[in-house]
Structure 1
């Protein structure tokens, strides 16, 4: 039997392997290392990893970090595996700010330093510099992780310090920071507006920018990662009474938003972005009252037709697209 072409081995076989095995395969030869490092390989590998059998949840508690698989058939979690922190770690010290293709941008809360960290390989890179770049302040700054057309991983840092406002980009390839202009309404950089973490989708970083939880202005800021230009698009047309929160999710390179609205009885609608306009995909029935503190910490996972809404309070809701309902499912042990 003739040998398989290298391209077939890499893109049809290795894209289906776990991330650790892909990392080991890079040491086979220089050609494999180059092919496994391309953005095309990363995209295909990630798309094949987002099936229900490969869904994972990364949990960081006071002293440890672990990974748990989601078992969608019975809405449970599989056995956990421990991830070792390769950097100095204190209680409640690490905050995940952004993620992309398995790479995390995290903050060490006791030093405010930004790090790029790959939990699979344990490799990490400190982004702090002597001239004060690479330091993050919670509730003032915003972070987005992305990759440009040259396959260079970059970090966008919206930075607000005592009246000094700036936008900075870190390049992993050249290992340095630089300032870029913010060409849209300057008031969005003021401390009166709360920025979400950036969500990378289709060559653009998206941020929700909200003036306050009840009332005020809500917009979406778009950052084209190749032209490095900002623009503003409208928020989905949700009711303005009560609390409003929008959580952005990239699903197969299509941007979605979970928009929750209300006060004592919350409603969640799912929207998808088409061009610069939002189209409502699903409208969920009202759910029982939930505290504001819980709604501030929502993360969404999509698996096997279900949307898992997981909070930092170790409880989840599962939205079933066929039954059109929310229900509490499970809690982390």
Structure 2
């Protein structure tokens, strides 16, 4: 077998296979194991994995990791698959903060340690260091996961303590943390301000910051003067979108897209009949083939039409402090280099 034929097999054929098959082919020989473990293969595999059929929902109540595949015909979750959480000793809960290319950034209670975890391979890595980095305070901190130079996966960790905001970046490539300059308004040091996890779009991380239910600092779409409202950011085809829902006893939904410095309304949904507040604060939504499904847990709630604007994406939408699950794509990306 020539080098050329090996590369063709690895990068043109195996890169299109589901991750579970890639794992099997790693056992064929040392050469294949080495090639299938490179960053080049990770990138090739990710480029073919960004398909609706490879998207999964994971819910982690009480360390019972339930994985679902979407049924694209009905909009419901498919059969449930239980996977073991790889870290259980001394752990009481898990919060998922961010996801990118099959990697999840989560924090563990009560240790508060950040981890990178691929639920497909169940490989994970603790991000804590001897210098005290990688320790996540749920009320004050926030996290963003993004891909930096040389396709290096990075974790931005913003901390607020003693009226000081600091930002550190973890590099998967070097396995180390570094501090970066981070300037923002002094009032954001207050624990009264809540930060959403970061949404990466076009090489930039975006955060929603709110205080007393009034959103600030972001050029926000129009909202009603009364009632509770919440905006969640999502990257739809590399354009920043916001799902905005408002109301107390009835919930209204709107989808906005940021074009330049203006928000443009994509669609509005009529008010949904009364539902408990704790229900719509933990909603996920799914968009594909012109359909929009508003969901809570594994049960579909309502369905809307998006007319001629198909959005073949599946995104998590949750209350800022309700990180009990997320959406991810099955890949072979490792928490390690």
Quickly name the TM-score band, shorter chain normalised: 0.7 to 0.9
Pairs within 5 Å for 1:1-80: 9=9, 13-25=13-25, 28=32, 30-34=34-38, 36-39=40-43, 41=44, 43-47=46-50, 49=51, 51=52, 53-80=53-80
- Gap runs ≥5 in structure 2: 309-337
- Which among 303, 307, 310 is matched to residue 319 of structure 1? 303
1:271 aligns with 2:274: no
1:249–1:22 distance in 2 versus 1, CA, 3 Å = farther
Q: Which residue of 2 aligns with 1:107?
A: 107
Displacement of 1:89: 4.8
For 1:297 and 1:318, the matched residues in 2 are separated by 14
Pairs within 5 Å for 1:119-268: 119-213=119-213, 216-220=214-218, 234-268=219-253
Displacement of 1:287: 1.3
Is this contact kept in 2: 1:147–1:153, CA < 8 A? Answer: yes
Aligned length: 303
Q: Which residue of 1 aligns with 2:330?
A: none
1:269–1:4 distance in 2 versus 1, CA, 3 Å = farther
Displacement of 1:114: 0.7
Q: Which has the higher contact order (CA 8 A, sep 6+)?
A: 2
Normalised TM-score (structure 2) = 0.79
Q: Which moved more, 1:300-309 or 1:196-205?
A: 300-309
Displacement of 1:4: 8.7
For 1:123 and 1:160, the matched residues in 2 are separated by 30
Q: Which residue of 2 aligns with 1:306?
A: 291
Displacement of 1:163: 2.6
Is this contact kept in 2: 1:98–1:144, CA < 8 A? Answer: yes
- Secondary structure of the residue that 1:285 maps to in structure 2? strand
Displacement of 1:315: 3.9
- Gap runs ≥5 in structure 1: 221-233, 325-333
For 1:90 and 1:58, the matched residues in 2 are separated by 21
Normalised TM-score (structure 1) = 0.80
Is this contact kept in 2: 1:201–1:255, CA < 8 A? Answer: yes
